A and B are shown apart, each in its own frame.
Chain A
Amino acid sequence: GENVGLHLPTLSVQEGDNSIINCAYSNSASDYFIWYKQESGKGPQFIIDIRSNMDKRQGQRVTVLLNKTVKHLSLQIAATQPGDSAVYFCAEPPNSGGSNYKLTFGKGTLLTVNP
């Protein structure tokens, strides 16, 4: 992965609204992406992943969408709750299928949920 970045560094939403966090990537060969959530003072936690043979993957209240045409992925959180307030990172391996599997992390988006 040559570049994993985020469109918005901060996002503020009202409790109950849906949240959308975006991530752009530049390596068209990337075929695996992961979203992590990091609460203040804690380590990142795995949320959901998606492989390039899929356009959409759903988890519990979260959905990840992958648009390979424009090299963009998004994380959608339904009915956002105060406990969702955190920094969200997208990540990808640098080389598709190679032995180098160090993840490249985006800078993150800070999601703040207002009660």
Chain B
Amino acid sequence: DGGITQSPKYLFRKEGQNVTLSCEQNLNHDAMYWYRQDPGQGLRLIYYSQIVNDFQKGDIAEGYSVSREKKESFPLTVTSAQKNPTAFYLCASSIGGYGYGYTFGSGTRLTVV
């Protein structure tokens, strides 16, 4: 079955560390997205990529970095510059054209210890 996989499900980060969240999809989708969700809050866009080797900042890109070297993969690195990284991170993908929804992964919960 096609889908989008995020790993790990839970991640713990020490102060000052960079950590990378994995997102892989086998849906042949062109576009991929990273969202952050805080408790009781909506989804805030971190980065998105409409095509391989291209990505754009979303609304809250500071302290995060991404790469899009393969169509299937869109990893997110939470750097030490992100001062409040504890959150639930969601990756999504879409066909990329107008009028299509997203398929979401199951999320990664990141906690700073």
Q: State yes or no: do A and B come from one complex.
A: yes
Q: Which residues of A are in contact with B by a Cβ distance under 8 Å?
A: 32, 34, 36, 41-46, 49, 51, 89, 91, 93, 96-99, 101-103, 105-108
A-B contact pairs, 28 of them (CB 8 A): A34-B101, A41-B88, A41-B107, A41-B109, A42-B106, A42-B107, A43-B6, A43-B90, A43-B92, A43-B104, A43-B105, A43-B107, A44-B102, A46-B102, A46-B103, A49-B101, A51-B99, A89-B42, A97-B98, A101-B96, A101-B99, A101-B100, A102-B58, A103-B101, A105-B43, A106-B42, A107-B41, A108-B42
Q: Which residues of B are in contact with A by a Cβ distance under 8 Å?
A: 6, 31, 33, 41-43, 45, 48, 58, 88, 90, 92, 94, 96-107, 109
Chain B residues near A108 (CB, 8 Å)? 42
Beyond A42-B106, A51-B99, A89-B42, 12 additional contacts (C-beta under 8 Å) are A32-B99, A36-B101, A44-B102, A46-B103, A49-B101, A101-B31, A101-B97, A102-B33, A102-B58, A105-B43, A107-B42, A108-B42
Are A102 and B104 touching (Cβ within 8 A)? no
Chain A residue nearest in CB terms to B88: A41
Chain B residue nearest in CB terms to A97: B98
Are A102 and B48 touching (Cβ within 8 A)? yes
Are B102 and A103 touching (Cβ within 8 A)? yes
Q: Which of B45, B88, B102 has the most CB of A within 10 A?
A: B102
Q: Please report whether the interface of chain A is mostly helix, strand, loop or mixed according to DSSP.
A: loop
Are B42 and A102 touching (Cβ within 8 A)? no
From B58, B97, B98, B101, A91 is in contact (CB under 8 Å) with: B101
Q: Which of B42, B48, B107 has the most CB of A within 10 A?
A: B42
With A41-B107, A43-B106, A45-B104: A98-B98 Cβ-Cβ less than 8 Å: yes
